[in-house]
Amino acid sequence: MADAPADGDARFGRDRTLRIKSPLPLDSGLQLSPLDIAYETYGALNANRSNAVLICHALTMDQYVASDHPVTGKPGWWLGMVGPGKPIDTDRFFVICANVLGSCMGTTGPRSINPASGRPWGMSFPVITIADMVRAEIALLDALQIERLFAAVGGSMGGMRVLELAAAHPERLGNAIVIASAARHTAQNIAFHEVGRQAIMADPNWNGGNYYDGEPPSKGLAVARMAAHITYLSEEGLTAKFGRKLQDRDAVSFGFDADFQIESYLRHQGIRFVERFDANSYLYITRAMDYFDMAASRGGRLADAFAGTTTRFCLVSFTSDWLYPTAETRSIVHALNAVGAPVSFVEIDSPHGHDAFLLDAPEMDAVIAGFLAAGRTS
Amino acid sequence: MTLRPDLAAIIGFVAPGARVIDVGCGDGELLEALRDTRAVDGRGIELSRSGVLQAVARGLSVVQGDADTDLVDYPNAAFDVAILSQALQAMHAPRAVLEQLLRIAARAVVSFPNFGHWRVRVALLAKGRMPVTRTLPIAWHETQNIHLCTIHDFEALVADVGADIETARFFAGGKVIGPAFANARAEQAVYLLRRRN
């Protein structure tokens, strides 16, 4: 690959950050500047720059899709999917994964410094949308001089960005993979997010979002994570894993310790989460997801979002995912069929709920590998 | 790869480059052959997860769905040809499915096992039992074939839904046979139908 432009390009590799020079226009009418985007790349960009795959991460994930997390030290969150010989094969594809707009792992978000005040944005950070996040990702692609993606892949909120990218920039996307996702947030989705936000805001340490000089609202954020984590699992999965088993004791304590294993597990999930995530980012990103409704922002008809598209689509849902159930994916398939788009869809049998897409799922791997293998990188 | 003669007949009915939907496409064998030999713009619907997984792995655009309920989602005349291969007899509402095929495509190709074949008749007449034959190998209580029909039955249904028969092919013993006495001689039939405008 001596002619590959990737060789020696300082923009490519692990732990990169680019500053986007021009202000980012937002759906709210405001503009965001400056904009830093933190990202990682894996594999080599080919000579005609046609093998790029953008991975869009979910709400609380980050750019460390296939490398160790700098804070937790844990391995990449999608190692089973991304790597040499994996379904998203880094021997074939140039993989890009960027920390999403509003997050807290290097991309501009509420924890970043507002140059006007010299202090963190906090709640003066503009409210952002899924479309704004896609604009930021497009700005990164422009900076990397990638005209057209071979594919964009995302689960959960990442799937929302793939759909938005396909709708807003069909000419820049060859193949779209949308996993365990939806084209809108339902009342139930919004309700769970609101519980999380209220938990954060009820923590005295939150202080109107102005906590970067002191103690962060860790208790509120941990409760938010606990509530959300339940929505990522299934009753079937919880019963199989925990049932009514007690935690390090033979009988209930007639108190409010974590008697049950499930309580201990959720508390642990909450504590681990606050080590690596910013509470204000959680507020902003959940808000963006709640505002997401692709049909409403296009005259009420989802199919109109995809009229004339030449992008190939592959959608995957899971039987036990009640956060973004199969019916939501089917409505996207319906819309894509209505405009004659090339679409594949499969519902995979899994007891693991929404989180199934992050776990070992050989059928999902086979579908994604097969779908990508059939696409041509020319 | 040698395709079954009924599948080869279906391919013969499809023009190069056509927009095709294969309803009940199984693992995508026919769609793949259509793509590779006719360069069709193909889509598939398949009920079984395993079928969809194999078809998508072949690079085909196939969605998991139920022909009885999901064809209504497709717009009018979205396709040039709609194919229903060896699946009519497994539909809950064969007439509604046939009407949907002719709504979403100008032409429909439908193949099915002929329940009027003489072996079927003899089995029922001689033994008084539901026939188990080469083309209908599964016992009545286990088969997915809930709406079996004869060639005469099918032609009557086609007339009933207001479609025209453009042409048909008949098979027995894995070979093409002529149309004479097809209702008794043919084990399989493949019809090319056209919507009457």
Domains defined along chain A, listed by start: 16-186+292-374 (3.40.50.1820), 188-287 (1.10.1740.110)
pLDDT given at position A134 = 98
Q: Is residue B125 part of a domain?
A: no
A contacts of B41 (beta carbons < 8 Å): 342
Closest CA to A37 of A142, A165, A169: A142
Nearest residue, CB atoms, B61 vs list A334, A338, A344: A344
Q: Is residue B138 part of a domain?
A: no
DSSP chain B: -PPPHHHHHHHHTS-TT-EEEEET-TTSHHHHHHHHHH--EEEEEES-HHHHHHHHHTT--EEE--HHHHGGGSPTT-EEEEEEES-GGG-SSHHHHHHHHHHHEEEEEEEEEBTTSHHHHHHHHHH-S----SSS-S-TTT-S--S-B-HHHHHHHHHHTTEEEEEEEEEETTEEE-STTHHHH-SEEEEEEEE--
Q: Is residue B130 part of a domain?
A: no
* Amino acid identity at A211: Y
Q: Is residue B135 part of a domain?
A: no
Measured between CA atoms, the residue of chain A closest to residue B72 is A334
Q: Is residue B67 part of a domain?
A: yes
Residue A366 has pLDDT above 80, yes or no: yes
Nearest residue, CB atoms, A344 vs list B56, B75, B78: B56
Which pTM value belongs to this model?
0.94
Beta bridge partners of A26: none
- Arithmetic mean of pLDDT over chain A: 95
- Contact between A374 and B59 using a beta-carbon 8 Å cutoff: yes
Can you give the residue range of the structural domain that contains B56? 5-113+147-195
pLDDT given at position A7 = 55
- Contact between A367 and B65 using a beta-carbon 8 Å cutoff: no
Q: How far apart are CA A34 and CA B33, in angstroms?
A: 53
Q: Which of A177, A344, A350 to substitute to test the interface with B, most B CBs within 10 Å? A: A344
Q: Is residue B167 part of a domain?
A: yes
Residue B62 touches chain A, beta carbons under 8 Å: yes
Q: What is the phi/psi pair of residue A94, to 5°? A: -95, 105
B contacts of A316 (beta carbons < 8 Å): none
**A41 to A92, A161, B116, B122: CA distances (angstroms):** 13, 19, 63, 69
Closest CA to B51 of B60, B40, B39: B60
Full pLDDT tens readout for chain B, 197 residues:
578 899 999 999 999 999 999 999 999 999 999 999 999 999 999 999 999 999 998 999 999 999 999 999 899 999 999 999 999 999 999 999 999 999 999 999 999 999 999 999 999 999 999 999 888 899 999 999 999 999 999 999 999 999 999 999 999 999 999 999 999 999 999 999 999 87
Nearest residue, CB atoms, B56 vs list A340, A347, A370: A370
* Amino acid identity at A327: A
A17-71: per-residue pLDDT in tens? 999 989 999 999 999 999 999 999 999 999 999 999 999 999 999 999 999 999 9
A198-214: per-residue pLDDT in tens? 999 999 999 999 999 99
A72-111: per-residue pLDDT in tens? 999 999 999 999 999 999 999 999 999 999 999 999 999 9
Q: Is residue B29 part of a domain?
A: yes
Q: Which two tokens stand for residue A163?
A: 């759909």
Beta bridge partners of A146: none
Residue A133 touches chain B, beta carbons under 8 Å: no
- Contact between B74 and A363 using a beta-carbon 8 Å cutoff: no
A contacts of B104 (beta carbons < 8 Å): none
Measured between CA atoms, the residue of chain A closest to residue B59 is A374
Q: What is the phi/psi pair of residue A218, to 5°? A: -65, -35
Residue A1 has pLDDT above 90, yes or no: no
Residue A240 has pLDDT above 60, yes or no: yes
pLDDT tier at A4, thresholds 50, 70, 90: very low
CATH number for the domain that contains residue B182: 3.40.50.150
Q: Is residue B95 part of a domain?
A: yes
- In chain B, how many domains are there? 1
* Amino acid identity at A4: A
